[in-house]
Chain A
Amino acid sequence: MKYSYYPGCTSHSTAIEYIEASLAVLQALGIELQELPDWSCCGAASAHNLSSTLALGLSAFNIAEAEKLGADLVIPCAGCFNNLARADYALRHDEQKRRELEELLGFTYSGKVAMLSVVDLIADPRWREQIKALVKKPLQGLKVVCYYGCAVVRPAEITGVDDVENPRRLDELMIALGAEVIDWSCKVDCCGGDLGLTHPDKATVLVNGIVDYAVAAGADCLVTSCALCQANVDIRQQRLPIMYFTELMAEAFQVGDRARWWKKHFNDPAGLF
């Protein structure tokens, strides 16, 4: 099974461990990725503040690259995924925008390439049995709460999330690994990631709220698929390790350089395993 792959800037910076874990897990599942040869910035959190054309254009450029490869595009970073999915939605549903972007980038949109987060890709039930088969060390006794944040969730028509208020895909994956998933009430709350630099005091309040509830629920760690959530929630508290879901999968599969990843965390997760 072959997919094209958009790494995004976090894969080279704050979320190296997420990308490495994701690649290790996908490799274990036999999913082959081909990196876009000439990928650019997705527009991140800044482009759309300046110009909607710039924001959509940057993402559309990468969609055009993926269309050249002709394989569905896997985007591990939640922020990148949201931007690219947003651009794809505009190309698909907004005739005028599509023509504008096609002219800007000199390409013809075919709409044949789907935008997929890693969760979209492997939470699909068809992978479930294979995932269970790959588990060498079940995460027995590990109590987790799954935290989805916003970027892979909203708006629903763009992200294709299973349930905006109560998403369950990460939960199902964690159950497949043998972890004990605890239902809690902050699955889709805002972590204040975008306020991290401008209003860190507000972000801290939001992060503490989330961690309070996770601790009260009895969680050993919080599981996310968003690099910004991970960084933001990890650095602002000392109570709970914040794990990428693919790190836990890699732990269960016993693949990848996990000891090195754990060192990238502010709250060391090594004690969990």
Chain B
Amino acid sequence: MGEVTELKGQQPACQTDDGAGATCACAAAGGLEDLYSVPVDRRVMVIGGGICGITAAIDLGNADYRVVMVERLPSVGGRMLQLSETFPTLDCAQCTLTPRTVESGQHPHVTLKTCCEVVGLSGEPGNFRVRVRQNKTYVDWSKCTGCGTCIQKCPTKSYALFERDAGRMTAIYTLSPQAVPNKPVIDADRCRYLTKGKCGVCAKVCPVDAIDYEQQESYFEVEVGAIIVATGFDVYDWKTKMPELGGGRLPDVIDGLTFERYLSASGPTAGRMVRPSDGVEPKEIVFIQCAGSRNPELHKSYCSKVCCMYTAKHARLYKHKVHDGQVYIFYIDIRSTGKGYEQFIQQSVSEEGIIYLRGRAAKVFQEGKKIMVQGADTLTGKKIEIAADLVVVAAALVPNEGAEELAEILGLTCNKDGFFVEEDYKLSPVDSGSRGIFIAGCCQGIKDIADTVAQGSAAASKAQVFLSTIRRQKKQAV
């Protein structure tokens, strides 16, 4: 083994896009002083700032390791940030998540690098050199105080991926009122100034002159001993792949994640239950489970695991908001294998009056203001047709966008569905097979929050085991 790389206090190399210039103009490469206060075998990079990555980062930080967390979005929190309440306890996702996001932001040993993406890897296990791209935010975060005036004054309000179909967002935004870090970014595709050259309101109102329309993306490199990959999941593109569900063409057919935004108190409707087309409170809702999951011929062969539970949760949360509403759930079979999960399902049926129909919905179409759902009830053998006000599709969950590219960069293997392959599913579930790189959470396979958090901690623990092995080997080599 090679000698200990002593990098204490050293700044990482930082380059601009064209590869020239040794001095760093971006704020991104700054703030790594804490990381570099220890040898490389005590530093870990966590890729992905969802609940999994946050858990791993906090665990490692508490164990006196130094962590740099790289997140593609402007703030940490991941998918959980989009959720309303979580099963099986129905506690508020924001309320349970926010203490963790805040802790990751304030932890003395955790450095957040948001709006950043990993683009290259060199070095060796125990001494990786990771190249990171700092994407454009158009806001100089070193000046920004997070006052939010720019967001209040932004005249553009349009579709934003984070709110899905539930609502619109200003072009300069933070992902939530409790965003960590609480600094806004500009969506270049929607910003009036950046698309049409007119507006500039945010720059005018910013009291500290932090808006920078000319900002360029930049690159920096970080040296770490181990890497934890926790890049999470996305929703299957059911709108284009499943036209039989009317995806994209019928506004009142939405997916589960969109429904979360409607339910969420911090969502665009502040938790008010309305439907997209006319803002009317839906009185009859149909949920369609296994949309794209468990369908090897046409879509994904695997079970997306969390949909049975979140659909039951959706149904209950809806009933709590619309007491006289009626819920129908099309299901294949109910998979409720977690602790307290089956009881949750039973309660949904017996206490909340939710009607489960065993069968697949075959066709969804508009008739007047209603969404007609045709399907079969395979228990009675009858064809059913329900006139619904809103249809919620529990679409399959897939690895997050860019997972395959990241696998290529890091030398990981993906299975045919794009999930990272672990060394051994049962005995080494968070080892990636590449030494020093660990995988955790939904990027390894779809799982619920409880399992995700467990894997985050497991990955943190395995990273420590790996780095202490490296240290021992180095000592023996001396």
In the complex the two chains form, is A185's CB within 8 Å of B243's CB?
Answer: no
In the complex the two chains form, is B243's CB within 8 Å of A163's CB?
Answer: yes
Q: Is A40 an interface residue (CB 8 A)?
A: no
CA distance A165 to B249 in the complex (A): 12
CA distance A165 to B299 in the complex (A): 14
In the complex the two chains form, is B365's CB within 8 Å of A185's CB?
Answer: yes
In the complex the two chains form, is A165's CB within 8 Å of B366's CB?
Answer: no
Q: Is A166 an interface residue (CB 8 A)?
A: yes
Flag B231-260 by CB within 8 Å of A: 1 or 0 each: 000000000001110000100000000000
CA distance A163 to B248 in the complex (A): 15
Interface size on B, residues (CB 8 A): 9
In the complex the two chains form, is B244's CB within 8 Å of A185's CB?
Answer: no
Interface centre among A164, A165, A216 (most CB of B within 10 A): A165
Q: Which chain A residues (142-194) contact chain B, with CB distance < 8 Å?
A: 163-166, 183, 185
Residue from B243, B367, B372 within 8 A of A165 (CB atoms): B243
Q: Which chain B residues (339-392) contact chain A, with CB distance < 8 Å?
A: 363, 365-367, 372
Q: Is the interface of B mostly helix, strand, loop or mixed?
A: strand
Interface centre among B249, B365, B372 (most CB of A within 10 A): B365
CA distance A163 to B243 in the complex (A): 8
CB nearest neighbor in A for B365: A185
Which residues of chain B come closer than 8 Å to A164, judged between CB atoms? 243
CB nearest neighbor in B for A185: B365
Nearest-neighbour CB distance to chain B for A157, whole angstroms, equals 11
CA distance A185 to B242 in the complex (A): 14
Which residues of chain B come closer than 8 Å to A166, judged between CB atoms? 243, 249
CB nearest neighbor in B for A167: B243
CA distance A163 to B363 in the complex (A): 15
Which residues of chain B come closer than 8 Å to A165, judged between CB atoms? 242-244
Nearest-neighbour CB distance to chain B for A149, whole angstroms, equals 15
Nearest-neighbour CB distance to chain A for B438, whole angstroms, equals 40
CB nearest neighbor in A for B243: A165
CB nearest neighbor in A for B363: A185
CB nearest neighbor in B for A166: B243
Which residues of chain A come closer than 8 Å to B363, judged between CB atoms? 185
CA distance A165 to B372 in the complex (A): 16
CA distance A164 to B241 in the complex (A): 10
CA distance A202 to B363 in the complex (A): 19
Nearest-neighbour CB distance to chain B for A12, whole angstroms, equals 36
CA distance A183 to B367 in the complex (A): 12
CA distance A185 to B249 in the complex (A): 11
Which residues of chain A come closer than 8 Å to B243, judged between CB atoms? 163-166
Which residues of chain A come closer than 8 Å to B365, judged between CB atoms? 185
Flag A214-227 by CB within 8 Å of B: 1 or 0 each: 00100000000000
Nearest-neighbour CB distance to chain A for B447, whole angstroms, equals 31
CA distance A183 to B243 in the complex (A): 13
Nearest-neighbour CB distance to chain B for A121, whole angstroms, equals 24
CA distance A9 to B259 in the complex (A): 53
Task: State the 8 A-B residue pairs at the shortest beta-carbon distance, nearest first.
Answer: A185-B365, A165-B243, A166-B243, A165-B244, A163-B243, A185-B366, A185-B367, A185-B363
Q: List 5 A-B contacts (CB under 8 A).
A: A164-B243, A166-B243, A166-B249, A185-B365, A185-B372
With A183-B249, A185-B365, A185-B367 known, 5 other A-B pairs at CB within 8 A are A164-B243, A165-B244, A166-B243, A185-B363, A185-B366
